[in-house]
Structure 1
């Protein structure tokens, strides 16, 4: 692991944390495996800003943190469950030849991706508090949160309310420019098999996470059959791709989709 990990780990001599006077700092650990290689990484997270402050990798001989801090590069983002466990995180690192790599971890799928492609299987530990805020107010130097209006607040809330569903009429654009329509049903909580939504096309289902209290979705669409077969298995199928959706009004959303691990560029819109 030490030899291969040089393309994944960049060691910096020091780490500069953002001001955290008004934010809880929590830590969580990813335990990952890539073929016969395994490692752990501890992340420090600004719970208020939902960003990664830094990370450090465990010493592989004794399982203890090696003490070397690494600063996340580019934009980082974290989404947490109501119980504080990490649901999704994204961050960037430069490797030893100064190439920038983008990483995303999906707790529901137990998968770490690098540059949009599967990289390792991972599980995440519950978060623990590193430092407690002294004030519950918004950090003075924090950027305003991007949010939708009250009327566009939710595709679905992540509250602890009872299980509920919402139905949408949708239309996506195919690679050849033609259009396909289907009915989509989203749920506020995952089904036992991890689905957050389904649609009427080859047992179509959505796996992923809600963003901004349900105002957006990011994850995967999965079908039993589709126009392109992928190399990796997601949700029990080789037919899948990336997708994201964002509300534009109380009864409409826009989004993009793609095949396999490509960047989503094809339109997918919905209305009620």
Structure 2
């Protein structure tokens, strides 16, 4: 009896912990170079060393992530700051974490239409 009660208590305790973050490192792209992603629930973050950049997004539907990118500088600075920089924009990734991942990005708050170029 004690063994069953103990096992149920342990399983309940494990189930109460938040899920561990999942990582996908070195996902190659034409636009940003390799991106290291981290997924924690519906929150998706990423870094891309080529431009010292960061991605911050949310999974809004199964396999669809939307959010913003930022980096210290870009070829098209925005008129307003976001995340402490004038170099930022939007992104949309579809089929996230699948072999056929695709996505678009933009400068500033424009609609994301430029190809990220996942490879």
Superposed pair shares fold, TM > 0.5: yes
TM-score by length of 1: 0.34
- Alpha-carbon distance in structure 2 between the residues aligned to 1:195 and 1:185: 10
Identify which of 99, 102, 112 aligns with 1:254: 102
Higher relative contact order (CA 8 A, sep 6+): 2
- Alpha-carbon distance in structure 1 between the residues aligned to 2:69 and 2:40: 16
Identify which of 29, 43, 48 aligns with 1:199: 48
Q: Which residue number corresponds to residue 40 of structure 2?
A: 189
The secondary structure found in structure 1 opposite 2:29 is strand
Tell me, which stretches of 5 or more residues in structure 2 are unaligned?
1-17
Deviation at 1:187, TM superposition (A): 0.6
TM-score by length of 2: 0.72
Please say which structure displays the higher CA radius of gyration.
1
| 1:183-212 Cα shifts (integer Å, max 9, x gaps) | 01111129xxx9711112321101221122
Query: Is 1:223 matched up with 2:74?
Result: no
Q: Which residue number corresponds to residue 170 of structure 1?
A: 29
Query: Is 1:211 matched up with 2:69?
Result: no
| 1:230-262 Cα shifts (integer Å, max 9, x gaps) | 111111111001110001782231111111111
More helix by share: 2
Q: Which residue number corresponds to residue 10 of structure 2?
A: none
The secondary structure found in structure 2 opposite 1:201 is helix
Instruction: Say how many residue pairs are matched.
Output: 100
Tell me, which stretches of 5 or more residues in structure 1 are unaligned?
1-159, 173-180
> What does 1:18-33 align with in structure 2 at a 5 Å threshold?
none
The secondary structure found in structure 2 opposite 1:269 is coil
- Aligned CA RMSD, in angstroms, stands at 2.3
Ranges of 4+ aligned residues in structure 1 off by more than 6 Å = none
More strand by share: 1
